[in-house]
Amino acid sequence: MADMNDPGNQPTGAEAMVRMLEAHGVRHVFGLCGDTTLPFYDALYRLDHSIEHVLTRDERSAAYMADGYARVTGRVGVCEGPSGGGATYMVPGLIEANESSYPILAITTDVSVPSRGHYPLTELDQEGLMRPLTKWSAVISRSGMLPDMVRQAFRVMTTGRPGAAHLGLPLDVQRGPVAADDIWGDRTHAVYPARRSAPDPAAVDAAVEALLSARNPVIVCGGGVVIAGAERELDALARRLDIVVATTVSGQGSLACTHPNCLGVVGSNGGVPATRAVVEAADLVLFISCRAGSVTTERWRFPAKGTRIVHIDSDPEVIGASYPTEVGVVGDARLTLAAINEALEGRAAAGFRGGAAVATAKAAKWAAFTPLAESAEVPIRPERLIAGLSRVLPDDAIIVADPGTPCPYVSAFYEQRRPGRQFISNRAHGALGYSLSAAVGAWYGRPDRKVVAVMGDGSFGFTCGELETVVRKGMPITFVVVSNAVYGWIKAGQKASFGERYYSVDFNRTDHAAVAEAFGVKSWRVEDPADLDGVLRQAVEHGGPTLVDVVSQPLHEAQAPVSEWIA
């Protein structure tokens, strides 16, 4: 084995990539092998390093695993795959992470640089493909450039608004020489957000004055509050002013759902009429690390145009994009909230009585939910499933939910009892097949926590091959399938907006428990709601991977917390 510290031995590009990842604190790489990857895999095999490679069954899954890992660790998630189809399969995961502001690095190996234009197998313009989907994309054209480009990737991913990056690693670059003394990493960029930006004091003062001049303000938090680790500062502000704090789906965990000032999720996915009414009544809305997009605002109706807006975000392009903004504050959420709290020191507390408004709205919300959650109807109501999960899961459990049936129900009705990132859903683009793989990444990031993935049967069909990965690695993840034999979100839309003209949305029912058993997963199928809690408890307490197949009411027959379906 060559000694890379010996000046007579120059490391290859493949060896340098391993060392550069290690220098940036990378502990896990999720990926799938291919012809163009052989030198990189050989370097991983030969070198003594601290990186665990997790072999996946699909490159899309590898990217989702890196995404889930990044969300729960505060570190960069890394995935890798081969040229051609491997690179194209990673696209959904990169888009999701980038738009959700999570740093994942995709390394795609590539054909040799001199072979370009000569029709080599799997030739693809990787840089052109990835550029519009990521914060930064590059293909390394010479081995000596590799250390600088890896450092740049980590620097771009973790500073400003975090996001995804892509590096192409051609075969000849993997084999070429790299100067040993150029192999180093800046550990500042191993975590995110790195090099936080503080707000302009004048903007902070203006935000405070606007807030205190309101009669009935509401805070709406996006995912950036948790990304910035600003939960404590938000809690201090909420208690100081007794102000309502609502969240987006991604913003869950900004406060514990049980916090007296936490209204919960608002918007068209997970909001309910009682929580919408609180936002509708606000005379000022303070958006914190929230893009104020179509879902959060129910297509920019709540808050209504004309409502006073104060907006805090680390990305200046977000501020004023959808609402005329009275005060915009550009800065890291944690630093900005700390500055606001400092500016409020010595000033009389406003006392907005937000806790009372929250209590009233939640009472109405739970009054509507409880009869459905206790229903003995067959097929099992989704509300009954969420209530069961709430009873059996520990307070620190991590739930990963696919879009479709799981997301609105978990967002609306599962009460996270601690602040922080414990709920994950791919809300940027909402692709099916996310939760199973992202749960794997979340477990690698937090193996001390119970991780549960909730998915529809449509999503199960996208990604069930990764159950082999779960069994091979012995991960004690619990998977819950909401089984209703339909692409439920689309069918519900056809009912609400297209005169119940149902077209090409139904498929055959699958025995998902039997499929999972074939992979070696301990599994149950539940049809009777009276059996649900007991089975969920067994699954959660089992020492290995488990799956619960819940035969459920389809969305178009349910009372889902999705505003566009509510008459």
* Least confident interval from 2-11, 29-38, 387-396, 483-492: 2-11
User: How many other β-carbons are positioned within 10 Å of the β-carbon of residue 418?
Assistant: 15
Residue 210 burial (10 A CB sphere; 0-12, 13-18, 19+): middle
Give the pairing type, strands 52-55 and 546-551: unpaired
**pLDDT, tens digit, 9 for 90 and up, residues 63-105:** 999 999 999 999 999 999 999 999 999 999 999 999 999 999 9
Whether 8 shows a pLDDT value over 80: the answer reads: no
Contact predicate 436/463, CB 8 Å? yes
15 φ/ψ angles, rounded to the nearest 5 degrees: -65, -40
Task: Tally the C-alpha atoms within 13 A of residue 313's C-alpha that lie toward its C-beta.
Answer: 26
At residue 563, the pLDDT reads: 87
Q: Which pLDDT belongs to residue 346?
A: 85
Q: How confident is the model at residue 351 (pLDDT cuts 50, 70, 90)?
A: confident
Q: What is the pLDDT of residues 149-186, one digit of tens each?
A: 999 999 999 999 999 999 999 999 999 999 999 999 99
- Taking all residues of the chain, what is their mean pLDDT, rounded to a whole number? 96
Rounded (to 5) percent helix, strand, coil in the chain: 45, 20, 40
Residue 567 has pLDDT above 80, yes or no: no
Question: What is the per-residue pLDDT for 1?
Answer: 42
Residue 25 φ/ψ region, left for φ over 0, alpha for ψ in the -120 to 50 degree band, beta for the rest = left
pLDDT digits (tens, 9 = 90+) for 361-401: 999 999 999 999 999 999 999 999 999 999 999 999 999 99
Q: Is the pLDDT of residue 9 over 90?
A: no
Q: Mean of the pLDDT values across residues 537-561?
A: 96
Residue 488 burial class via C-beta count within 10 angstroms: exposed 0-12, middle 13-18, buried 19 and up: buried
Whether residue 2 has pLDDT greater than 70: no
Could you report the per-residue pLDDT of 401-453, keeping only the tens digit for each?
999 899 999 999 999 999 999 999 999 999 999 999 999 999 999 999 999 99
For 490, the 3-state DSSP assignment is: helix
Domains and CATH numbers, the chain: 13-190 (3.40.50.970), 201-357 (3.40.50.1220), 374-565 (3.40.50.970)
**The pair of three-digit structure tokens given for residue 548, joined into one six-digit string:** 């619960």
HEC letters along 48-61: CCCCEEEECCCHHH
Task: Output the pLDDT for position 7.
Answer: 46
